Every structure is written in C-alpha cells, then in structure tokens.
Amino acid sequence: MCRLLGITNFNYLKHQKIINNFCDLARTGTVLAGDSPGHEDGWGLAFYDNGKLVVHKSGLNILDEQEPFLDILEKAGESPVMILHLRKSAWSNTTSTRHAHPFDYENRVFAHNGTVYDYKGLLKDITIPGLREDALDTEVFFLHFLSSDVADLGSAFLKTVALIKNTHSYSALNCLFSDGEKMYAYRDFSKEPDYYSLFKTQSENSVIIASQPLSSSLLWKQMDKEEFYVITA
C-alpha cells in the first residue's frame, strides 16, 4: 500500500515541482477506507548515473528527510529514469530501510504498490543468490521474474504476473521497474480500483507515471487494468 512515481528523461530543475507534490503524498496521499492517513513508513529513490544504478532508501517519513532527499536529486541533476516510492506497510513491524522500496539487483530496480499475500509460494522458483529469510512480497515478486528462463525483462515480468494472477492471492500488482534503458509500468488490482490507481502523462520529452495526478497543468490519463506500458528512456 504505497505511492509510486516514475519519470523518464528526468531533469531536477524541470521536475522539482512534481517531486515536491509527490512528497506531500506522504501526508495527503489517498489511502484505503479505514486506514490511517499518510504514507510514512519509508521512502526510496532510484536513478541512473552514467548508466549505473544509484539507490537511496530510508525507513523514515520522507517529510522528515525532505531536505537531504532533495539534495540527492539536485546533485544527480538528470537521469534517463527516476523512480520514487513512498511506503505504507501492509506487514506489521517492518518499517525499516531494509524493507523500503525500490529493490535492486544488477542495475535493475523495482517498486510496487499492492500486496501478494501468499508470496512464500513463489520462493521455490527463485534462483538469484542471497535471498534473505525476512524478504517480503515485493522483493520476492522482483527476484522471481529475474529468475525466469525468459531473457527479455518485460516478458519475464509478465510470466510472473500470470503465475500470481492464476495461483496466488493479491490486492494489486501496480509497479514501476527499469533496467536503465526502459521504464516499465504495470497496473492490475483485485479490489479497490480507486486506491490502486496509476496515471500517465507526457511533459515535453518526459513520460511521468504516478499513483495520483501531481500537477493540474498536465493531462493525466488513468492506466487501464492489466495495462503494461513500456517507455524507452
């Protein structure tokens, strides 16, 4: 239960307002009916510096760390892909940097909004070394499609999605991921479509994907259920 933001051809000066508006979702972002307000259980940021993935994560509320967070982005300046995640944990006692999104492996990065309730059934298929015992659903989801015998990243992802949809229980599979050359966005849900939203828009040469519209000056379109959107960075 989180908020997602992805931007291709990211430029800090051009996108600073979008970033600030997204940070405000830690306090004002849409939540499920009956949930406490806010997405305060950690944050994570990923971008590429000369082709190399850089990830920063924290288990704290981004609004308490907004100045150092913005300093990181300002120093980065530009990136072909930038992904940002605000966490609202579905799992008790897991608010920590360890469980903040996004997760990364060998220059690929993945952030998710939703819960795969019976994710432990996916563990047997993971061949990526070093999986820790405390791994939760998003990390397992990510490493599962990276373990696929399908070489193409997008096709491997869709293979794991099909398995989860056919044999597992989940709330939503909304996610953003990247290999530095493309940004991938996917929306799917089994309930609460108003919460598990994902919007797309274009701003000059950048595509922006976000859980909620972040600027009234841009034309946002809701992604369809089961829509898989691939953007070349």
User: Span 143-165, mean pLDDT?
Assistant: 98
> Contact, 176 vs 184, CB < 8 A?
yes
**Partners of 186 in beta bridges:** 175, 228
Q: How confident is the model at residue 37 (pLDDT cuts 50, 70, 90)?
A: confident
Q: What angle do CA 71, 77, 82 make, to 5 degrees?
A: 90
Q: What is the pTM of this model?
A: 0.96
Q: What six digits make up the tokens of 70?
A: 């913005």
* Residue 90 pLDDT: 79
What integer pLDDT is reported at residue 157 of this predicted model?
98
> Which residues, 6 or more positions from 190, have their beta carbon under 8 angstroms from its beta carbon?
169, 170, 171, 172
The rounded distance, in Å, linking the Cα atoms of 129 and 122 is 15
> What phi and psi values does residue 139 have, to the nearest 5 degrees?
-65, -40
* Range scoring the smallest mean pLDDT among 31-35, 43-47, 100-104: 31-35
Tell me what pLDDT residue 8 has.
98
Name the pLDDT band for 49 (thresholds 50, 70, 90): very high
**Per-residue model confidence (pLDDT) at position 13:** 97
For position 34, what pLDDT does the model report?
76
**Average pLDDT score over the chain:** 95
Count Cβ atoms within 10 A of the Cβ of residue 167 and give its class: 0-12 exposed, 13-18 middle, 19 or more buried: exposed
Mean pLDDT across 35-50: 92
pLDDT in tens, 62-116: 999 999 999 999 999 999 999 999 998 777 777 899 999 999 999 999 999 999 9
Mean pLDDT of all residues in 172-182 = 98
Return the bridge partners of 82, or none: 7, 47
- Asked if residue 40 has pLDDT above 90, the reply is no
Summarize the confidence of residues 103-131 as an average pLDDT.
96
pLDDT of residue 92: 72
Delineate the domains of the chain, giving CATH numbers in brackets: 2-232 (3.60.20.10)
